[in-house]
Structure 1
Amino acid sequence: MRATVEGTVIAEAPESELVRIEGNWYFPPSAVAPGALTESPTAYTCPWKGPAQYFDVVTPEGTRKDGAWSYPDLKPSAVERVGHDFAGYVAFSPGITVTA
């Protein structure tokens, strides 16, 4: 699977390493291209996953504000609900293309 912005690869990993939650593909942190994400101050807490960390997606074409997010400190019930520890995995907002 590959996440791209206007042809620039942001993340890439085999589908078997990703987790699909609520229609979003979550990539393992090691799959994200170095320098592609910078932390955003945007705050959000999911009722069942916990606090999110948003990221701006940085490419040669520009920056997509809050184009990605992650849950670094999952609630234990989130791991049970999904059946996989996805702490730190990264998902992408609309505008970032995720393809097989």
Structure 2
Amino acid sequence: MKATWNNQIIAESNQTILIEGNHYFPPESIKCEFFKQSDTHTTCPWKGEASYYDIHVDGKINPDAAWYYPDPKTAAKSIKNYIAFWRGVLVDPS
């Protein structure tokens, strides 16, 4: 799978985990130069607290467009630190 925003590939992996329609990418598959930690946090009843990244590409910012679970609940341990996308990030087969 490949995640693209603003005509730039920001993550690519054939080891994503599909949960609730979202592909979660392994942390080593993202291009770190495009990700900046956000102060945003949300809570999922069964996954736990999510943290967010803003995505920066060619001078444009997509706030909170990526999220991950640094300390997920037991039911979601398989996606610990895996990153998922929304807000216009395209996730398609490579």
Structure 1 runs of 4+ aligned residues shifted over 4 Å read none
SS at match of 2:61: strand
Aligned to 2:55: 57
Percent identical across equivalent pairs?
41
SS at match of 2:76: helix
Unaligned 5+ residue runs, structure 1?
80-84
CA distance in 1, matches of 2:41, 2:72: 15
- 1:68-87 alignment, distance < 5 Å: 68-79=66-77, 85-87=78-80
Equivalent pair of 2:37/2:52 in contact (CA under 8 Å): yes
When normalised by structure 1's length, the TM-score is 0.88
Given the alignment, which residue of 74, 78, 81 partners 1:88?
81
Query: Cα offset for 1:94?
Result: 3.2
What CA RMSD, in Å, does the superposition of the two structures yield over aligned residues?
Answer: 1.1
Matched to 1:24, the amino acid is N
When normalised by structure 2's length, the TM-score is 0.93
